[in-house]
Chain A
Amino acid sequence: MDGPIPVTGPGQFYMLRTPTRWPVLLPRPFSLYDRAPDGSWGSFLLKGVGPGTNALLDVDVGEDVLVTGPLGRTFPADIEDPVCVAGGVGLAPFLLLARAAKANDRPVRLLFGGRDRAALAGLEDFEPIARVATSTDDGSHGHHGLVTELLERMIERGEVRAGETVFCCGPDPMMHAVAKLCERRGLRCFLSLETYMACGYGVCNGCTVEVDGERFRGWPYSKTCLEGPVYEACELVELRS
């Protein structure tokens, strides 16, 4: 895209690709992390996990990146005071949401987990504007353990009650664990999925997940890029046991 970053909802994403890092061919999807109010800049949270992400991390200042978006659906906008649960770079969709909540004087609750302190990149952006609790696998920051344990503890203390809503983004095993916990405790749960995509705009049919729900009108697969990446956990067949 040339020009300003459009207004983007929490959970919406952009496809990013460096045009010159042969032989990486396909763009990769990333939630927009932050955005200037006038759209003059935007930022993304990247972690190198393979050739595509590493090529993007190698980009120098001033180099062109092909950016397509905003794409996909946001976390539902009508939920008041959701509990946000993030793992690692799964933090990305929550900053815009946290800023909006802060502006309305309802600082968002964020539970943020990672392998270690270094995996909690972005924490400092949230600390002034959200109610944050952290966990690390190695105990280097916050609770020594899993982020799901933080959520469970809040439920036990009555700080989160049945009927409330959790927004979650992170690695698959973490999202599965959070979804299961929410199901057990009677919480609604929305997940922002990180699926492998080729196009991001609905033509490759590669990013599908198995779904069941009224909005899919009987079709067993859903394109994450168009109908997601945010799904209610109960819509995802993989999470049913």
Chain B
Amino acid sequence: MLATRLGTLQLTNPVLSASGTFGSGWEGREFSDLSRVGGLVSKTVTVKPRPGNPPPRILETPAGMLNSIGLENKGADYFIPESLPKMKQLVGEHGRVIVNIGGESIDEFVELAERFTAAGVDALEVNLSCPNVQEGRLLFSTSPQMCERAVAAVKAVTDVPVFAKLSPNVTDVVEIARAAAAGGADGLTAINTLIGMAIDWRRQRPVLGRGIGGLSGPAIRPVAVRMVYEITRAVDVPVIGVGGIQSASDVLEFLCAGAAAVQVGTAQFADPALMVRLVEDLERELAGLGRSVGELIGSAHPEAGPATPGQPAAAGASAQERR
């Protein structure tokens, strides 16, 4: 009932962690049994260590938060021996280990893909789109040609599925999605954070140390749902939906929009055991509906057939359902 797949990658259930919101899972190990989630996606790993951006790095905003962490991580030389074995241990036999890689050039993407393929991962997620770094990497998320080249270069050196994480900070996300698919992406992760800013008018300065940051949380959920819907209607590649998920109801919304799996991010800051609870709640909801995950994927698309008769879910219902 819960099983799903992303290309050739089989998942026991559609719930994954979103990159950069759960480390490598180790810090969350005491709060729930992480072998029950579909998989863990690592925080972005770069070739060289990155200390990250100056504080303050986060701010809560209405129904969301801004962050400008700046890909703080100790680099692949640290991650491969120290963190990757822990991820494998946490997810056990059935959960998937997906490593998110961030290159500043095609060469770096290739190097990371080669090293992680050799180290053994179930899939790679290519971070085309972190808004919090200054280098020319922005081009990978905004230029269809650069996006296609980066994905194709990674695909050429690995035999594991490759997912491209897309930025919402573009005029036409479908155009970029098509480019990633043309580059051979086995899946698309949509979406990364929306670029935002908050200003402390008393100090007349931006609140965050770096000025701008990425907006996440329930505030961006409708944007993410819309983009998942648009992409999956136009591109024949599985999509992982991410943006503001807090409840099983939100997961179901993304599935109906067309996502084959989802990632949980900001909400697990507030509740470290959230992913496992979502798996349990989702199972109960689906049993009530008498439907499987596979049957719901894309079911809101007009071509998927008539709507299920029943009460429409009240707007904001999922917010009230939360514990």
State in angstroms the CA–CA spacing of A89 and B58 once bound together: 23
Q: A66-B271, A208-B52 are in contact. Are A23 and B23 (CB under 8 A)?
A: no
Smallest Cβ distance from B131 to chain A, in angstroms?
15
**A19 with B269: CB separation less than 8 A:** no
Q: Does B62 contact A (CB under 8 A)?
A: yes
Q: Which listed segment binds A: B65-73, B175-183, B231-239, B289-297?
A: B65-73
**B63 with A23: CB separation less than 8 A:** yes
**B52 with A204: CB separation less than 8 A:** no
**A25 with B57: CB separation less than 8 A:** no
List residues of chain A with CB within 8 A of the CB of B7. none
**B60 with A26: CB separation less than 8 A:** yes
State in angstroms the CA–CA spacing of A16 and B51 once bound together: 29
State in angstroms the CA–CA spacing of A187 and B55 once bound together: 28
Residue of B nearest to A208 (CB): B55
**B21 with A203: CB separation less than 8 A:** yes
List residues of chain A with CB within 8 A of the CB of B20. 205
Extra inter-chain contacts (11) besides given A198-B266, A201-B27, A205-B52, CB under 8 Å: A15-B270, A17-B270, A26-B269, A66-B270, A68-B31, A68-B271, A198-B60, A203-B272, A205-B20, A205-B43, A219-B51
Which residues of chain B from 35 to 74 have a CB within 8 Å of any chain A CB? 43, 51-52, 54-60, 62-65, 67, 69, 72, 74
Smallest Cβ distance from B263 to chain A, in angstroms?
14
Residue of A nearest to B62 (CB): A23
**B27 with A226: CB separation less than 8 A:** yes
Q: A23-B62, A26-B269, A202-B27 are in contact. Are A220 and B67 (CB under 8 A)?
A: no
Query: What are 20 contact pairs spanning A and B, CB under 8 A?
Result: A15-B270, A19-B323, A23-B63, A24-B60, A25-B65, A25-B267, A198-B58, A198-B266, A199-B268, A199-B272, A201-B28, A201-B31, A202-B27, A203-B22, A203-B28, A205-B52, A208-B55, A208-B57, A219-B51, A226-B27
Contact of B72 among A26, A202, A208 (CB under 8 A): A208
The 10 closest A-B pairs by CB, nearest first: A206-B58, A202-B27, A199-B269, A23-B63, A198-B269, A203-B23, A205-B69, A206-B57, A19-B323, A220-B51
List residues of chain A with CB within 8 A of the CB of B62. 23
Contact of A209 among B22, B23, B55 (CB under 8 A): B55
**A19 with B63: CB separation less than 8 A:** no
> Would you give the 0/1 interface string for A1-33, flagging 1 where the beta carbon is closer than 8 Å to chain B?
000000000000001010110111111000000
Q: A25-B65, A26-B269, A201-B272 are in contact. Are A221 and B58 (CB under 8 A)?
A: no
Which residues of chain B from 294 to 323 have a CB within 8 Å of any chain A CB? 319-320, 322-323
State in angstroms the CA–CA spacing of A226 and B28 once bound together: 12
Q: Does A172 contact B (CB under 8 A)?
A: no
List residues of chain B with CB within 8 A of the CB of A198. 58, 60, 65, 67, 266, 269
Residue picked from A197, A202, A210, most chain B C-beta under 10 Å: A202
The SS class assigned to the B binding surface is loop
Contact of B21 among A26, A204, A220, A221 (CB under 8 A): A204
Q: Does B217 contact A (CB under 8 A)?
A: yes
Smallest Cβ distance from A53 to chain B, in angstroms?
12
State in angstroms the CA–CA spacing of A66 and B246 once bound together: 15
Q: Does B218 contact A (CB under 8 A)?
A: yes
User: Is the interface on chain A under 10, 10 to 19, 20 to 34, or 35 or more residues?
Assistant: 20 to 34
Residue of A nearest to B68 (CB): A206
**B51 with A203: CB separation less than 8 A:** no
Residue of A nearest to B73 (CB): A205
Smallest Cβ distance from B59 to chain A, in angstroms?
7
List residues of chain A with CB within 8 A of the CB of B69. 204-206
User: Chain A residues in contact with chain B, CB under 8 A?
Assistant: 15, 17, 19-20, 22-27, 51-52, 64, 66, 68, 195-199, 201-210, 219-221, 226
Smallest Cβ distance from B314 to chain A, in angstroms?
14
List residues of chain A with CB within 8 A of the CB of B268. 199, 203
Residue picked from A27, A51, A198, most chain B C-beta under 10 Å: A198
Smallest Cβ distance from B36 to chain A, in angstroms?
18
Contact of B64 among A25, A202, A203, A207 (CB under 8 A): A25
Residue of B nearest to A28 (CB): B60
> Would you give the 0/1 interface string for B9-35, flagging 1 where the beta carbon is closer than 8 Å to chain A?
000000000001111000110010000
Contact of B60 among A25, A207, A220 (CB under 8 A): A25
Smallest Cβ distance from A67 to chain B, in angstroms?
11
> Would you give the 0/1 interface string for B116-148, flagging 1 where the beta carbon is closer than 8 Å to chain A?
000000000000000000000000000000000
Smallest Cβ distance from B15 to chain A, in angstroms?
16
List residues of chain B with CB within 8 A of the CB of A66. 270-271, 323
Smallest Cβ distance from B64 to chain A, in angstroms?
7
Residue of A nearest to B20 (CB): A205
**B59 with A196: CB separation less than 8 A:** yes
Residue of A nearest to B55 (CB): A208
List residues of chain A with CB within 8 A of the CB of B60. 24-26, 51-52, 198
Residue picked from A24, A64, A204, A210, most chain B C-beta under 10 Å: A204
**A206 with B67: CB separation less than 8 A:** yes
State in angstroms the CA–CA spacing of A219 and B62 once bound together: 33
State in angstroms the CA–CA spacing of A68 and B31 once bound together: 9
